[in-house]
Structures are given as C-alpha cells and as structure tokens.
Amino acid sequence: MTFRRAIFPGSFDPLTLGHHDIILRGITLFDELVIAIGINADKKYMFSLEERTSFIKDAFKNEPKIKVMTYEGLTVDFCKKIDANFILRGLRNPGDFEFEKAIAHTNRQLSEIETVFLLTSSGKSYISSSIVRDVIRNNGDYTGLVPNTVRVNKQNN
C-alpha cells in the first residue's frame, strides 16, 4: 500500500472550527496531512503568518500525522514538491461546491492530483474565516467560532 499524503490548503486567517472539523476527519483518511498555509503577497491578512502557523501547530500539537508548512504559487506545484497525492477541501454549501469543483478540475488538468471533498459538519457549516474576522473587528465574542488556540491581540483588529 502506498503512503497517502494530502494537503489541506488555505490562508487560515484565522483557523476556524470548520477547518478544525475537516482536519480531524481528514487525518482518518490519510497517512499524513499537511496543513498548507498559502502566502499571497497581494492579500491583506488580519493575522501574521507566524500567528496563523502558531494557531494551527498549537491546535494539533498532539497529532503526529499533521504537519504545517507554508507555500507560494500554485497548489499543484507545492503538491509535486512535497510528493502529496491528494488535496483535501471542505465544503460548507452549494456555492463552495461550484467554486471548488472548478479549481479541482483545473488542478486535475495541470497534474494527476486528486481532490477529496468533505462536507463540514452541520453545526459548523456557517463558519468562515471572513465571518470570524468581521466578529473580531467589531469586538464580538469569536471564541465559539475558533479553536481555543486562536488568540486575538488588540492590534489585529
């Protein structure tokens, strides 16, 4: 049997309970799951790369099947670089499906990479990083939307 390495790409700005759900369920499917934090120089992040990396590493510090890495450029190129056979993606709603389907077809055209979709658990399907950032910006209680490793400094919002 071959080693099954998958990546779960995203900006994770910040890591949410939705991400956490997909990651925990994803590690049951793969031998190793690389949480791949994409770096986009044109994007304005609420949390620094160091903070986002720390949130994820702290949340999964007791899970040896999880690695955290950063990358720039095409996700399929990163997959080739680290010899990952799969991309794991979470789906919250039909809009996510249509968007992710187009990306998966493009990735499949560019490489032999397979995309595996997991539906977010129903109690977490409404959570998105953009909603969490909006709650934080408006001084709302974000703690029920993120793992307890996500901490907000006043300078972030």
**Cα–Cα distance for residue pair 101/153, rounded to 1 Å:** 36
Contact (Cβ atoms closer than 8 angstroms) between residue 154 and residue 24 = no
Q: Residue 71's beta-bridge partner residues? A: 38
Q: Could you confirm whether 129 is annotated as catalytic?
A: yes
Catalytic residue among 5, 89, 129, 133: 129
Catalytic residue among 65, 80, 92, 108: 92
Contact (Cβ atoms closer than 8 angstroms) between residue 11 and residue 47 = no
Name residue 90's amino acid. G
Q: Identify the CA nearest to 153 among candidates 56, 142, 145.
A: 142
**Cα–Cα distance for residue pair 73/63, rounded to 1 Å:** 27
Q: Could you confirm whether 19 is annotated as catalytic?
A: yes
Catalytic residue among 5, 19, 20, 52: 19
Contact (Cβ atoms closer than 8 angstroms) between residue 90 and residue 126 = no
Catalytic residue among 43, 44, 122, 154: 43
Residues noted as catalytic: 19, 43, 92, 129
